[in-house]
Amino acid sequence: MKIVRVEEIEDAVRRLSMDVNYYIRDELREAYKKALEKEVSEIGKEVLSQIIENVELAASEQLPVCQDTGVSIVYVEIGQEVKIEGGNLYDAINRGVSRGYKEGYLRKSVVRDPLFNRVNTGDNTPAMIHVEIVPGDVFRITFMAKGTGAENMSRLAMLTPAAGVKGVRDFVLKTVAEAGPNPCPPIVVGVGIGGTFDTVGWLAKKALMRKFGSRHPDPNYAKLELELLDEINKLGIGPQGLGGRITALDVRIETAPCHIGALPVAVNLDCHAHRVGVWEK
Amino acid sequence: MGEVIKRITPPLDDKILEDLRIGDKVLITGKIYTARDAAHKRFVETINKGGQLPVDLKGQVIYYVGPTPPKPGYIIGSAGPTTSIRMDSYMEPMLKAGLKATIGKGYRSWGVVDLLKKYKAVYFIATGGVGALISKKIKKARIVAYEDLGPEAVMELEVEDFPVIVANDIYGGDIFEEGVRKYQEITLPFKIERISEV
């Protein structure tokens, strides 16, 4: 049986909080460069150059890439042969977030109550924590710093089975088209299809947390991911919505079985500062 | 769309505003003020009660930003624009109080595009998601109101050659509509509706 101590978890989350905000992953930097080669609009190229310059500056001075250092989304996959020792998993994650956001000079962007008492909690806690039990002895934390500019432009629809592929496609395109410049394009698009009302949003978020550029294992969905990416890039929104060919950098779909009468779809958008990191033991 | 670089310093008068057209690249030097959701709520509550605002908005520029805390030795942390549409429902009282320009990212509701025309004010955009880069254009920063709001406190920033683009001018122009019109290569079976807060 593998043992994971809460101190290790706290420290991993603390480091992930800072690292994802300072350092943009290589595969995403590559995507920016490819986007710059493909973009035809002059202003679009200028924006992409600024994005590239910004991530280099942020990494060299350990500054947050974006001032919206996000709400912390922590997805924990725990192998059923793993034992967590030394305390409470959720408390350890929140201590890691609190320390990471304070020690890393990150912005604290969480209010305790959504409606009546919007007072900042002061340390970016609580994190949004999702735990799943998986086979084996893996212990994996996927950390996402999620800005709200793109989160606010995300949408969910309960389509009917008759809507089919066309219905899903139109809903994704409409969501991206109406979001326009607001989610900080070029964006990354996470699509959840199936499940129920509650699970489909999480599927879309999991799609965003999946490896950049990875394709769905089912070839039908893998093809749909690439077709949607192509069509989104024909919307003309462009970098920062100023017009151009590069509106999205990647589209990823996650799916689940669903009711005979249902076709839930969720579209979760992320900005070009697409901050995800993984720690595994 | 213009391609000229224009330099301006607040407070902004009609002559400056009349010269700005969508697509113009503008460099701002001087003092600007920060405010986002929570500060706007307080501003407008104060205006509605007939109270005095902590900042005289006449001719001023508000930057929609909530920066990260400065690291030791730094003036400010990352400081890029936030999505402007969330401030749209507060716009009319702010414009009535004399506000002449806002800086943010993303589009404004069509209602705000009309208000900008009515009150002769402009909307600038700065590049979203490049907060580290933008922070280098900020030379001084101090909190002037609502310190309890943390990252949402109102700050006075002294900026130098702060780069923005005119997204909505006093003539009703809209940069985003023009951009999409130029580059869209797909026919959609639905109408694109702009999200509206006003």
- Residue B148 CA to residue B121 CA, distance in Å, equals 30
- Residue B62 CA to residue A124 CA, distance in Å, equals 26
Cβ–Cβ contacts within 10 Å for residue B26, how many? 23
- Residue A262 CA to residue A271 CA, distance in Å, equals 29
Read off the pLDDT of each residue in A4-9 and give the average, rounded to a whole number: 98
Could B186 and A234 be called an inter-chain contact, meaning their C-beta atoms sit closer than 8 Å? yes
Could B79 and A67 be called an inter-chain contact, meaning their C-beta atoms sit closer than 8 Å? yes
Read off the pLDDT of each residue in A158-163 and give the average, rounded to a whole number: 98
CA dist A272 to A25, A169, A182, B18, Å? 12, 22, 12, 34
Please determine, for residue A14, whether its predicted confidence score (pLDDT) is greater than 90: yes
Domain ranges of chain A: 2-22+65-146, 149-273
CA dist A119 to A110, A252, B69, B77, B197, Å? 8, 35, 18, 22, 23
Give B1's pLDDT tier (boundaries 50, 70, 90): very low
Tell me the pLDDT tens digit for each residue of A121-140: 999 999 999 999 999 999 99
Q: Is residue B192 part of a domain?
A: no
Instruction: Please tell me the CATH code under which domain A2-22+65-146 is placed.
Output: 3.30.360
Q: Is residue B193 part of a domain?
A: no
The nearest CA of chain B is from the CA of A164 a distance in Å of 15
Best of B41, B78, B181, B197 to substitute, by most chain A Cβ atoms within 10 angstroms, is B78
What's the pLDDT at B19? 97
Rounded to the nearest angstrom, the gap between the alpha carbon of residue B140 and the centroid of all alpha carbons in its chain is 18
Find the CB nearest A67 among B65, B179, B192. B65
- Reading the block at residue A99, the tokens are 């320390």
Q: Is residue B197 part of a domain?
A: no
Please determine, for residue B160, whether its predicted confidence score (pLDDT) is greater than 60: yes
Cβ-Cβ pairs closer than 8 A, A with B, add up to: 182
What rounded mean pLDDT belongs to chain B?
96
Cβ–Cβ contacts within 10 Å for residue A224, how many? 21
Tell me: cis bond preceding B69? Omega within 30 of 0 counts.
Answer: no
What's the pLDDT at B84? 98
CA dist A17 to A11, A12, A45, A73, Å? 10, 9, 30, 10
Q: What is the CATH number of the domain that holds B162?
A: 3.20.130.10
What's the pLDDT at B4? 72
List of chain A residues whose C-beta atoms are within 8 Å of the C-beta of residue B195: 153, 178-179, 182
List of chain A residues whose C-beta atoms are within 8 Å of the C-beta of residue B79: 67
- Reading the block at residue A258, the tokens are 């669903």
Tell me the pLDDT tens digit for each residue of B83-104: 999 999 999 999 999 999 999 9
- Reading the block at residue A120, the tokens are 């900042």
Give B119's pLDDT tier (boundaries 50, 70, 90): very high
The nearest CA of chain A is from the CA of B84 a distance in Å of 8
Are the folds of A2-22+65-146 and A149-273 the same? no
User: DSSP letters along B132-193, please?
Assistant: HHHHTTEEEEEEEE-GGGGGGSEEEEEEEEEEEEEEE-TT--BHHHHHHHHH-----SS--P
What total number of domains does chain B contain?
A: 1
List of chain B residues whose C-beta atoms are within 8 Å of the C-beta of residue A173: 186, 188
Terminal alpha carbon distance of chain B? 26
Catalytic residues of B: 40
List of chain B residues whose C-beta atoms are within 8 Å of the C-beta of residue A50: 127, 130, 133
Cβ-Cβ contacts under 8 Å for A37 (sequence gap 6 or more): none
Could B131 and A244 be called an inter-chain contact, meaning their C-beta atoms sit closer than 8 Å? no
What's the pLDDT at A197? 98
Cβ-Cβ contacts under 8 Å for A95 (sequence gap 6 or more): A10, A13, A14
DSSP structure class, residue A48: H
Cβ-Cβ contacts under 8 Å for B177 (sequence gap 6 or more): none
What's the pLDDT at A128? 98
DSSP structure class, residue A58: H
Please determine, for residue A194, whether its predicted confidence score (pLDDT) is greater than 50: yes
Read off the pLDDT of each residue in B47-70 and give the average, rounded to a whole number: 97
- Reading the block at residue A192, the tokens are 């959840």
Q: Is residue B188 part of a domain?
A: no
Give B2's pLDDT tier (boundaries 50, 70, 90): very low
What's the pLDDT at B132? 98
Give the structural domain span for B143: 5-183
Q: Is residue B195 part of a domain?
A: no
Pick from B112, B100, B101, B93: which is nearest to B47 by CA?
Answer: B93
Interface check A53 vs B, CB under 8 A: yes
Find the CB nearest B130 among A51, A235, A238. A51
Q: What's the CATH class of domain A149-273?
A: alpha beta
What's the pLDDT at B3? 60
Please determine, for residue A170, whether its predicted confidence score (pLDDT) is greater than 70: yes
- Residue B183 CA to residue B177 CA, distance in Å, equals 10
Q: Are A249 and A35 in contact (CB under 8 A)?
A: yes
At B144, phi and psi to the nearest 5? -115, -15
Could A66 and B176 be called an inter-chain contact, meaning their C-beta atoms sit closer than 8 Å? no
Find the CB nearest A109 among B125, B151, B190. B151
User: For chain A, what percent of residues have pLDDT higher than 70?
Assistant: 100
What's the pLDDT at B198? 79
List of chain A residues whose C-beta atoms are within 8 Å of the C-beta of residue B83: 148-149, 152, 182
Q: Are A144 and A130 in contact (CB under 8 A)?
A: no
Burial label, B98 (beta-carbon count in 10 A; 0-12, 13-18, 19+): middle
Helices (H) and strands (E) in chain B, counts: 6, 7
The whole-model pTM stands at: 0.97
Best of A39, A182, A275 to substitute, by most chain B Cβ atoms within 10 angstroms, is A182
Terminal alpha carbon distance of chain A? 12
What percent helix, strand, coil does chain B show, rounded to 5? 30, 25, 45
What rounded mean pLDDT belongs to chain A?
98
Tell me the pLDDT tens digit for each residue of A35-52: 999 999 999 999 999 999
The nearest CA of chain A is from the CA of B16 a distance in Å of 23
ipTM of the complex: 0.96
List of chain A residues whose C-beta atoms are within 8 Å of the C-beta of residue B177: none
Tell me the pLDDT tens digit for each residue of B24-33: 999 999 999 9
Read off the pLDDT of each residue in B127-147 and give the average, rounded to a whole number: 98
Q: Please compute, for residue B185, the number of CA atoms within 13 A of its CA located in the half-sphere on the CB side.
A: 12
Least confident of A221-230, B64-73, B174-183: B174-183
Tell me: cis bond preceding A126? Omega within 30 of 0 counts.
Answer: yes
Please determine, for residue B186, whether its predicted confidence score (pLDDT) is greater than 70: yes
